[in-house]
Structure 1
Amino acid sequence: MTRIIADISVSLDGFVTGPDPGPANGLGTGGEALHTWAFSDDPDDRGILREATARSGAVVLGRHLFDVVDGPDGWDDRTGYGAGEAGTPAFVVVTSSPPASVRLTDLDWTFVTTGLPDAVTVARERARVASSDSGRDLDVVLMGGGATVRSALDSGLVDVLVLHLAPVVLGAGTPLFRGAAPHELIRRSVTPTTTATHLTYDILR
Protein backbone atom coordinates (compact mmCIF):
# COMPACT_ATOMS: atom_id res chain seq x y z
CA MET A 1 0.00 0.00 0.00
CA THR A 2 1.30 3.44 -0.93
CA ARG A 3 1.39 5.73 2.10
CA ILE A 4 1.74 9.51 2.16
CA ILE A 5 4.58 10.30 4.57
CA ALA A 6 5.45 13.83 5.70
CA ASP A 7 9.15 13.73 6.64
CA ILE A 8 10.87 16.86 7.94
CA SER A 9 13.55 18.06 10.34
CA VAL A 10 12.47 20.50 13.04
CA SER A 11 14.05 22.44 15.90
CA LEU A 12 13.04 22.07 19.55
CA ASP A 13 11.04 25.29 19.23
CA GLY A 14 9.20 24.10 16.12
CA PHE A 15 11.04 25.74 13.21
CA VAL A 16 12.02 24.00 9.97
CA THR A 17 14.39 26.80 8.90
CA GLY A 18 16.29 29.50 10.71
CA PRO A 19 15.60 33.21 10.16
CA ASP A 20 15.83 34.73 6.66
CA PRO A 21 15.67 31.61 4.45
CA GLY A 22 16.01 32.03 0.70
CA PRO A 23 17.59 30.57 -2.45
CA ALA A 24 21.07 31.64 -1.33
CA ASN A 25 20.43 30.70 2.30
CA GLY A 26 18.09 27.76 1.98
CA LEU A 27 17.79 26.74 5.64
CA GLY A 28 18.09 30.26 7.00
CA THR A 29 20.57 31.48 9.58
CA GLY A 30 21.60 28.58 11.79
CA GLY A 31 19.25 26.21 10.01
CA GLU A 32 22.00 23.85 8.89
CA ALA A 33 21.93 22.42 12.42
CA LEU A 34 18.53 20.89 11.63
CA HIS A 35 20.09 18.45 9.16
CA THR A 36 23.28 17.53 11.02
CA TRP A 37 21.81 14.07 11.52
CA ALA A 38 21.57 13.49 7.74
CA PHE A 39 25.36 13.78 7.40
CA SER A 40 26.19 11.99 10.64
CA ASP A 41 28.32 8.87 10.94
CA ASP A 42 26.01 7.56 13.66
CA PRO A 43 24.84 4.14 12.39
CA ASP A 44 21.27 4.76 13.58
CA ASP A 45 21.13 8.07 11.69
CA ARG A 46 22.50 6.39 8.56
CA GLY A 47 20.00 3.57 8.87
CA ILE A 48 17.05 5.94 9.20
CA LEU A 49 18.19 7.94 6.19
CA ARG A 50 18.82 4.80 4.14
CA GLU A 51 15.39 3.40 4.96
CA ALA A 52 13.64 6.69 4.17
CA THR A 53 15.39 7.00 0.83
CA ALA A 54 14.73 3.37 -0.07
CA ARG A 55 10.99 3.67 0.57
CA SER A 56 10.61 6.80 -1.59
CA GLY A 57 8.60 6.04 -4.70
CA ALA A 58 7.92 9.71 -5.34
CA VAL A 59 8.71 12.94 -3.51
CA VAL A 60 6.56 16.09 -3.24
CA LEU A 61 8.03 19.51 -2.57
CA GLY A 62 6.92 23.12 -2.79
CA ARG A 63 8.24 25.69 -5.23
CA HIS A 64 10.33 27.58 -2.69
CA LEU A 65 12.16 24.41 -1.73
CA PHE A 66 12.61 23.49 -5.39
CA ASP A 67 14.22 26.89 -6.02
CA VAL A 68 16.68 26.17 -3.20
CA VAL A 69 17.63 22.62 -4.20
CA ASP A 70 17.83 23.45 -7.93
CA GLY A 71 19.66 26.75 -7.32
CA PRO A 72 23.39 27.24 -7.86
CA ASP A 73 24.11 26.43 -4.20
CA GLY A 74 21.60 23.58 -4.06
CA TRP A 75 21.89 19.84 -4.38
CA ASP A 76 25.03 18.18 -5.68
CA ASP A 77 26.52 14.69 -5.55
CA ARG A 78 27.04 14.99 -1.78
CA THR A 79 23.91 16.82 -0.67
CA GLY A 80 21.23 15.51 -3.03
CA TYR A 81 18.17 13.54 -2.01
CA GLY A 82 19.11 11.11 0.73
CA ALA A 83 22.38 12.98 1.39
CA GLY A 84 24.47 10.46 -0.52
CA GLU A 85 22.21 7.44 -0.15
CA ALA A 86 21.21 5.81 -3.44
CA GLY A 87 17.81 7.01 -4.48
CA THR A 88 16.35 8.62 -7.59
CA PRO A 89 12.59 8.84 -7.09
CA ALA A 90 10.28 10.99 -9.18
CA PHE A 91 10.01 14.55 -7.86
CA VAL A 92 6.68 16.40 -8.00
CA VAL A 93 6.75 20.17 -7.44
CA VAL A 94 3.70 22.21 -6.43
CA THR A 95 3.93 25.57 -8.17
CA SER A 96 1.84 28.30 -9.74
CA SER A 97 4.00 28.12 -12.87
CA PRO A 98 6.83 25.81 -14.02
CA PRO A 99 10.37 27.23 -14.01
CA ALA A 100 11.90 28.47 -17.25
CA SER A 101 14.78 26.01 -16.84
CA VAL A 102 16.02 23.26 -14.52
CA ARG A 103 19.64 22.82 -13.40
CA LEU A 104 19.29 19.26 -12.12
CA THR A 105 18.23 17.75 -15.43
CA ASP A 106 19.33 14.24 -14.42
CA LEU A 107 16.40 14.06 -11.97
CA ASP A 108 12.79 13.27 -12.90
CA TRP A 109 10.79 16.49 -12.31
CA THR A 110 7.03 16.99 -12.72
CA PHE A 111 5.51 20.42 -12.09
CA VAL A 112 1.87 20.52 -10.97
CA THR A 113 0.10 23.88 -11.20
CA THR A 114 -3.35 22.83 -9.94
CA GLY A 115 -2.63 22.56 -6.23
CA LEU A 116 -1.25 20.25 -3.58
CA PRO A 117 -3.99 17.58 -3.68
CA ASP A 118 -3.38 17.10 -7.42
CA ALA A 119 0.38 16.97 -6.83
CA VAL A 120 -0.12 14.23 -4.23
CA THR A 121 -2.35 12.33 -6.66
CA VAL A 122 0.34 12.53 -9.36
CA ALA A 123 3.01 11.44 -6.88
CA ARG A 124 0.88 8.55 -5.64
CA GLU A 125 0.53 7.23 -9.18
CA ARG A 126 4.27 7.58 -9.80
CA ALA A 127 4.95 5.71 -6.56
CA ARG A 128 2.54 2.94 -7.55
CA VAL A 129 4.31 2.52 -10.88
CA ALA A 130 7.67 2.46 -9.10
CA SER A 131 6.30 -0.11 -6.65
CA SER A 132 5.16 -2.33 -9.51
CA ASP A 133 8.51 -1.99 -11.26
CA SER A 134 10.52 -2.77 -8.12
CA GLY A 135 8.25 -5.46 -6.70
CA ARG A 136 7.97 -3.80 -3.28
CA ASP A 137 5.76 -1.20 -1.67
CA LEU A 138 7.01 2.35 -2.04
CA ASP A 139 5.59 5.55 -0.55
CA VAL A 140 5.06 9.19 -1.39
CA VAL A 141 7.31 11.39 0.75
CA LEU A 142 6.43 15.03 1.41
CA MET A 143 9.83 16.56 2.08
CA GLY A 144 8.73 20.17 2.49
CA GLY A 145 9.10 22.97 2.86
CA GLY A 146 7.25 23.69 6.03
CA ALA A 147 4.24 25.34 4.39
CA THR A 148 3.76 22.37 2.06
CA VAL A 149 3.90 19.84 4.89
CA ARG A 150 1.59 21.94 7.07
CA SER A 151 -0.91 22.35 4.24
CA ALA A 152 -0.86 18.62 3.53
CA LEU A 153 -1.49 17.84 7.20
CA ASP A 154 -4.34 20.34 7.42
CA SER A 155 -5.88 18.96 4.22
CA GLY A 156 -5.92 15.40 5.55
CA LEU A 157 -3.51 14.15 2.91
CA VAL A 158 -0.91 12.64 5.24
CA ASP A 159 -0.88 9.10 6.67
CA VAL A 160 2.41 9.21 8.59
CA LEU A 161 4.36 12.09 10.15
CA VAL A 162 8.11 11.66 10.63
CA LEU A 163 9.93 14.35 12.60
CA HIS A 164 13.69 14.55 13.03
CA LEU A 165 13.91 16.64 16.19
CA ALA A 166 17.23 18.48 16.24
CA PRO A 167 18.72 19.56 19.58
CA VAL A 168 18.74 23.24 18.67
CA VAL A 169 16.60 26.28 19.51
CA LEU A 170 16.48 28.66 16.53
CA GLY A 171 14.28 31.35 18.05
CA ALA A 172 12.76 32.31 14.69
CA GLY A 173 12.37 31.02 11.15
CA THR A 174 9.72 29.03 9.33
CA PRO A 175 7.35 27.39 11.84
CA LEU A 176 6.01 23.94 11.07
CA PHE A 177 2.73 24.12 12.99
CA ARG A 178 1.77 27.81 13.04
CA GLY A 179 -2.02 28.03 12.81
CA ALA A 180 -2.23 24.31 12.11
CA ALA A 181 -5.45 22.39 12.52
CA PRO A 182 -5.60 19.97 15.47
CA HIS A 183 -4.55 16.39 14.80
CA GLU A 184 -4.62 13.23 16.87
CA LEU A 185 -1.47 11.16 16.48
CA ILE A 186 -0.35 7.68 17.49
CA ARG A 187 3.36 7.40 18.24
CA ARG A 188 4.89 4.42 16.44
CA SER A 189 8.60 4.81 17.14
CA VAL A 190 11.21 6.94 18.89
CA THR A 191 14.87 6.59 17.96
CA PRO A 192 17.34 8.82 19.85
CA THR A 193 20.76 9.28 18.26
CA THR A 194 23.75 11.46 18.95
CA THR A 195 22.38 14.21 16.67
CA ALA A 196 18.56 14.01 16.75
CA THR A 197 15.48 12.28 18.10
CA HIS A 198 13.62 10.57 15.26
CA LEU A 199 9.85 10.37 15.84
CA THR A 200 7.25 8.51 13.77
CA TYR A 201 3.51 9.04 14.19
CA ASP A 202 0.46 7.61 12.47
CA ILE A 203 -2.19 10.27 11.87
CA LEU A 204 -5.73 9.39 12.83
CA ARG A 205 -8.41 10.37 10.32
Structure 2
Amino acid sequence: MTRIIADISVSLDGFVTGPDPGPDNGLGTGGEALHTWAFSDDPDDRRYLGEGTARSGAVILGRRLFDVVDGPGGWDDSVGYGAGEVGRPAFVVVTSSPPEAIRLADLDWTFVTTGLADAVTAARERAEAASSHSGKDLDVVLMGGGATIGSALAAGLVDALTLHLAPVVLGAGTPLFTGGPPRALVRRSVTSTSTATHLTYDVL
Protein backbone atom coordinates (compact mmCIF):
# COMPACT_ATOMS: atom_id res chain seq x y z
CA MET A 1 0.00 0.00 0.00
CA THR A 2 1.31 3.45 -0.93
CA ARG A 3 1.82 5.71 2.07
CA ILE A 4 2.46 9.46 2.30
CA ILE A 5 5.69 9.92 4.27
CA ALA A 6 7.05 13.29 5.36
CA ASP A 7 10.84 13.02 5.61
CA ILE A 8 13.03 15.96 6.64
CA SER A 9 16.13 16.92 8.61
CA VAL A 10 15.61 19.26 11.53
CA SER A 11 17.73 21.01 14.16
CA LEU A 12 17.32 20.51 17.89
CA ASP A 13 15.46 23.82 18.04
CA GLY A 14 13.06 22.86 15.27
CA PHE A 15 14.45 24.54 12.15
CA VAL A 16 14.78 22.92 8.72
CA THR A 17 17.06 25.67 7.39
CA GLY A 18 19.39 28.16 8.98
CA PRO A 19 18.79 31.93 8.80
CA ASP A 20 18.44 33.71 5.45
CA PRO A 21 17.71 30.80 3.11
CA GLY A 22 17.32 31.56 -0.58
CA PRO A 23 17.97 30.22 -4.09
CA ASP A 24 21.72 30.76 -3.70
CA ASN A 25 21.78 29.64 -0.05
CA GLY A 26 19.16 26.91 0.07
CA LEU A 27 19.81 25.67 3.60
CA GLY A 28 20.49 29.11 5.05
CA THR A 29 23.45 30.09 7.18
CA GLY A 30 24.76 27.02 9.01
CA GLY A 31 22.02 24.83 7.59
CA GLU A 32 24.45 22.41 5.93
CA ALA A 33 24.90 20.81 9.35
CA LEU A 34 21.35 19.46 9.09
CA HIS A 35 22.35 17.09 6.30
CA THR A 36 25.74 15.90 7.54
CA TRP A 37 24.17 12.48 8.13
CA ALA A 38 23.31 12.12 4.42
CA PHE A 39 27.02 12.20 3.53
CA SER A 40 28.18 10.08 6.46
CA ASP A 41 29.90 6.71 6.15
CA ASP A 42 28.06 5.41 9.23
CA PRO A 43 26.22 2.22 8.18
CA ASP A 44 23.01 3.29 9.93
CA ASP A 45 23.05 6.67 8.17
CA ARG A 46 23.69 4.90 4.85
CA ARG A 47 20.84 2.49 5.55
CA TYR A 48 18.35 5.29 6.24
CA LEU A 49 19.37 7.12 3.08
CA GLY A 50 19.25 3.99 0.94
CA GLU A 51 15.94 2.75 2.31
CA GLY A 52 14.37 6.19 1.96
CA THR A 53 15.27 6.59 -1.69
CA ALA A 54 14.48 2.96 -2.52
CA ARG A 55 10.91 3.31 -1.22
CA SER A 56 10.25 6.55 -3.11
CA GLY A 57 7.75 6.11 -5.92
CA ALA A 58 7.14 9.86 -6.09
CA VAL A 59 8.46 12.90 -4.24
CA ILE A 60 6.60 16.12 -3.40
CA LEU A 61 8.29 19.47 -2.89
CA GLY A 62 7.24 23.08 -2.73
CA ARG A 63 8.15 25.75 -5.28
CA ARG A 64 10.78 27.43 -3.11
CA LEU A 65 12.62 24.16 -2.68
CA PHE A 66 12.29 23.43 -6.39
CA ASP A 67 13.93 26.78 -7.17
CA VAL A 68 16.85 25.79 -4.93
CA VAL A 69 17.39 22.29 -6.33
CA ASP A 70 16.90 23.41 -9.95
CA GLY A 71 19.08 26.50 -9.51
CA PRO A 72 22.70 26.82 -10.68
CA GLY A 73 24.05 25.57 -7.35
CA GLY A 74 21.43 22.86 -6.92
CA TRP A 75 21.32 19.18 -7.73
CA ASP A 76 23.68 17.45 -10.13
CA ASP A 77 24.76 13.86 -10.80
CA SER A 78 26.57 13.64 -7.46
CA VAL A 79 24.24 15.65 -5.22
CA GLY A 80 20.47 15.34 -5.28
CA TYR A 81 17.59 13.08 -4.42
CA GLY A 82 18.68 9.52 -5.11
CA ALA A 83 22.14 10.51 -6.35
CA GLY A 84 24.30 7.43 -6.00
CA GLU A 85 21.29 5.36 -4.98
CA VAL A 86 18.84 3.18 -6.90
CA GLY A 87 16.65 4.88 -9.50
CA ARG A 88 15.06 8.30 -9.68
CA PRO A 89 11.41 8.83 -8.68
CA ALA A 90 8.86 11.17 -10.22
CA PHE A 91 8.81 14.66 -8.70
CA VAL A 92 5.64 16.66 -8.03
CA VAL A 93 5.97 20.38 -7.30
CA VAL A 94 3.25 22.41 -5.57
CA THR A 95 3.23 25.87 -7.12
CA SER A 96 0.97 28.69 -8.25
CA SER A 97 3.06 29.24 -11.38
CA PRO A 98 5.12 26.56 -13.16
CA PRO A 99 8.62 27.61 -14.25
CA GLU A 100 9.22 28.66 -17.84
CA ALA A 101 12.36 26.52 -18.06
CA ILE A 102 13.85 23.60 -16.09
CA ARG A 103 17.59 23.00 -15.73
CA LEU A 104 17.13 19.40 -14.50
CA ALA A 105 15.09 18.44 -17.54
CA ASP A 106 16.24 14.81 -17.37
CA LEU A 107 14.15 14.29 -14.22
CA ASP A 108 10.41 13.57 -14.28
CA TRP A 109 8.65 16.77 -13.11
CA THR A 110 4.93 17.44 -12.64
CA PHE A 111 3.74 20.90 -11.54
CA VAL A 112 0.42 21.09 -9.69
CA THR A 113 -1.22 24.50 -9.43
CA THR A 114 -4.44 23.48 -7.65
CA GLY A 115 -3.12 22.93 -4.14
CA LEU A 116 -1.33 20.48 -1.90
CA ALA A 117 -4.14 17.91 -1.71
CA ASP A 118 -4.17 17.63 -5.51
CA ALA A 119 -0.38 17.33 -5.52
CA VAL A 120 -0.63 14.43 -3.06
CA THR A 121 -3.23 12.77 -5.29
CA ALA A 122 -1.02 13.19 -8.35
CA ALA A 123 2.02 11.87 -6.51
CA ARG A 124 0.09 8.89 -5.17
CA GLU A 125 -0.97 8.00 -8.71
CA ARG A 126 2.65 8.18 -9.88
CA ALA A 127 3.84 6.08 -6.92
CA GLU A 128 1.14 3.46 -7.45
CA ALA A 129 2.07 3.21 -11.13
CA ALA A 130 5.72 2.80 -10.17
CA SER A 131 4.73 0.16 -7.60
CA SER A 132 2.85 -1.79 -10.27
CA HIS A 133 5.81 -1.56 -12.64
CA SER A 134 8.40 -2.60 -10.03
CA GLY A 135 6.33 -5.24 -8.27
CA LYS A 136 6.92 -3.74 -4.81
CA ASP A 137 5.12 -1.18 -2.67
CA LEU A 138 6.48 2.33 -3.13
CA ASP A 139 5.53 5.45 -1.21
CA VAL A 140 5.10 9.17 -1.72
CA VAL A 141 7.80 11.12 0.10
CA LEU A 142 7.19 14.72 1.14
CA MET A 143 10.73 16.09 1.17
CA GLY A 144 9.84 19.67 1.97
CA GLY A 145 10.31 22.45 2.42
CA GLY A 146 9.18 22.96 5.95
CA ALA A 147 6.03 24.89 5.04
CA THR A 148 4.91 22.14 2.65
CA ILE A 149 5.37 19.42 5.25
CA GLY A 150 3.76 21.53 7.97
CA SER A 151 0.75 22.21 5.75
CA ALA A 152 0.42 18.53 4.85
CA LEU A 153 0.50 17.52 8.50
CA ALA A 154 -2.08 20.15 9.41
CA ALA A 155 -4.35 18.96 6.59
CA GLY A 156 -4.15 15.32 7.68
CA LEU A 157 -2.42 14.24 4.47
CA VAL A 158 0.54 12.46 6.08
CA ASP A 159 0.65 8.80 7.14
CA ALA A 160 4.16 8.77 8.62
CA LEU A 161 6.77 11.29 9.72
CA THR A 162 10.52 10.64 9.60
CA LEU A 163 12.75 13.23 11.26
CA HIS A 164 16.53 13.27 11.06
CA LEU A 165 17.34 15.23 14.21
CA ALA A 166 20.72 16.90 13.78
CA PRO A 167 22.83 17.74 16.86
CA VAL A 168 22.86 21.46 16.11
CA VAL A 169 21.04 24.55 17.41
CA LEU A 170 20.54 27.06 14.60
CA GLY A 171 18.80 29.79 16.60
CA ALA A 172 16.73 30.95 13.62
CA GLY A 173 15.67 29.84 10.16
CA THR A 174 12.65 28.08 8.69
CA PRO A 175 10.63 26.35 11.44
CA LEU A 176 9.11 22.96 10.76
CA PHE A 177 6.11 23.47 13.03
CA THR A 178 4.28 26.80 13.12
CA GLY A 179 0.94 25.81 14.59
CA GLY A 180 -2.01 23.88 13.27
CA PRO A 181 -4.22 21.28 14.91
CA PRO A 182 -2.69 18.75 17.31
CA ARG A 183 -1.67 15.41 15.84
CA ALA A 184 -1.07 12.21 17.78
CA LEU A 185 2.06 10.28 16.77
CA VAL A 186 3.10 6.69 17.46
CA ARG A 187 6.85 6.16 17.54
CA ARG A 188 7.97 3.27 15.35
CA SER A 189 11.74 3.48 15.45
CA VAL A 190 14.70 5.42 16.83
CA THR A 191 18.26 5.06 15.56
CA SER A 192 21.09 7.23 16.86
CA THR A 193 24.35 7.88 15.06
CA SER A 194 27.12 10.43 15.57
CA THR A 195 25.47 12.76 13.04
CA ALA A 196 21.71 12.41 13.70
CA THR A 197 18.94 10.73 15.61
CA HIS A 198 16.60 9.15 13.07
CA LEU A 199 13.00 9.10 14.33
CA THR A 200 10.03 7.50 12.58
CA TYR A 201 6.41 8.01 13.66
CA ASP A 202 3.02 6.94 12.40
CA VAL A 203 0.63 9.91 12.25
CA LEU A 204 -2.81 9.20 13.65
Partner of 2:108: 108
Identity over aligned residues, as a percent?
A: 82
Correspondence 1:117 to 2:117? yes
Correspondence 1:81 to 2:78? no
User: What is the distance in 2 between the residues matched to 1:57 and 1:96?
Assistant: 24
User: What is the distance in 2 between the residues matched to 1:107 and 1:82?
Assistant: 11
User: What is the distance in 1 between the residues matched to 2:22 and 2:180?
Assistant: 23
Q: Which runs of 5+ in 1 are unaligned?
A: none
Q: Which amino acid aligns with 1:166?
A: A
Partner of 2:187: 187
User: What is the distance in 2 between the residues matched to 1:85 and 1:194?
Assistant: 22
TM-score (ref. length: structure 1): 0.98
In the TM superposition, structure 1's runs of 4+ consecutive aligned residues that sit over 4 Å from their partners are none
Partner of 1:28: 28
Partner of 2:11: 11
- By how many angstroms is 1:98 displaced? 0.5
User: What is the distance in 1 between the residues matched to 2:32 and 2:180?
Assistant: 24
Q: Secondary structure at the match of 1:164?
A: strand
Alignment of 1:155-170 (within 5 A): 155-170=155-170
Contact 2:82 2:88 in 1 (8 A): no
Q: Which amino acid aligns with 1:33?
A: A
Alignment of 1:16-165 (within 5 A): 16-165=16-165
User: What is the distance in 2 between the residues matched to 1:3 and 1:77?
Assistant: 28
User: What is the distance in 1 between the residues matched to 2:31 and 2:87?
Assistant: 24
- Number of residues of Structure 1 aligned to a counterpart in Structure 2: 204
Question: CA RMSD for the aligned pairs?
Answer: 0.7
User: What is the distance in 1 between the residues matched to 2:86 and 2:55?
Assistant: 11
User: What is the distance in 2 between the residues matched to 1:134 and 1:86?
Assistant: 12
User: What is the distance in 2 between the residues matched to 1:18 and 1:123?
Assistant: 28
- By how many angstroms is 1:83 displaced? 4.5
TM-score (ref. length: structure 2): 0.99
Deviates more, 1:174-183 or 1:127-136: 174-183
Q: Secondary structure at the match of 2:45?
A: helix
- Alpha-carbon deviations, 1:88-139, whole Å to 9, x = none? 1000000001000000011000000000000000000000000000000000
- By how many angstroms is 1:86 displaced? 2.4
Partner of 2:200: 200
User: What is the distance in 2 between the residues matched to 1:169 and 1:153?
Assistant: 23
Q: Which amino acid aligns with 2:188?
A: R
Contact 1:58 1:139 in 2 (8 A): yes
- By how many angstroms is 1:194 displaced? 1.4
User: What is the distance in 2 between the residues matched to 1:201 and 1:113?
Assistant: 29
